[in-house]
Chain A
């Protein structure tokens, strides 16, 4: 079983700060990386995908990928209380089709 590791948190940041969420993965052959947001009692919602080394920005979100270090991160700028959720890192599996998920990092943005 290929692993995707995340700190469970909770990660607490004040409103307006930058939240930094990290993820490591074990399969060097992985090519697709995704961040999902999951509110309590809801299903995962895709917020970012990244496939190449470097940064990818979308609004307040920036995903960063370093394949050599097998590391992917998500930065949330100007964090808002509405960003409080569990953030799931997902990496494509050996088959290429299914996703392997980390257990998620709980983020709490305090007003």
Chain B
């Protein structure tokens, strides 16, 4: 079946602009996660959704970052007033449910470059 999809695959923006990144999880997966991976850094958790609710937003680095999920499916991560330090690969993952034993499957990522 289809895996996690993300769009765009690449995004180049100017400092101060807003960007929206989209994630479409595996069909039937109720849990959705956003991570980011900066050059030379490990994967950093951003936010977790169960259905349309976000019980864990603890990883969002600042109030410029927000995310929503609609219909228990597609999620959008929005970064306002982008800064150069926001440049990273933004990865979305999904899993069957919220339980800690559930395996997370990653999409191909969106590479964000802030000039």
Contacts and interface: CB of A to CB of B under 8 A. Distances in A.
A75 B98 CA distance: 29
A4 B42 CA distance: 10
Nearest to A44: B106
A95 B108 contact: no
Interface string A64-92: 00000000000000000000000010101
Contacts of A99: 33, 43, 45, 104
A88 B98 CA distance: 21
A45 B105 CA distance: 7
A102 B42 contact: yes
A98 B101 contact: no
A7 to B, nearest CB: 13
Contacts of B59: 98
Contacts of A51: 101
B56 interface: yes
Interface in A43-57: 43-46, 49, 51
Nearest to B108: A43
Contact of A43 (B31, B56, B99, B106): B106
Interface of A: 4, 31-32, 34, 36, 42-46, 49, 51, 88, 90, 92-93, 95-104
Contact of A97 (B42, B56, B106): B56
Q: Most chain-B Cβ atoms within 10 A of its Cβ — which of A34, A100, A101, A102? A: A101
Contacts of B55: 97
Contacts of B2: none
B48 A34 contact: no
Given A32-B101, A97-B48, 20 more contacts: A4-B42, A31-B100, A31-B101, A32-B100, A34-B104, A43-B106, A46-B106, A49-B103, A51-B101, A88-B43, A90-B43, A92-B100, A95-B58, A96-B98, A97-B50, A98-B58, A98-B59, A99-B43, A103-B41, A103-B42
A97 B108 contact: no
B107 interface: yes
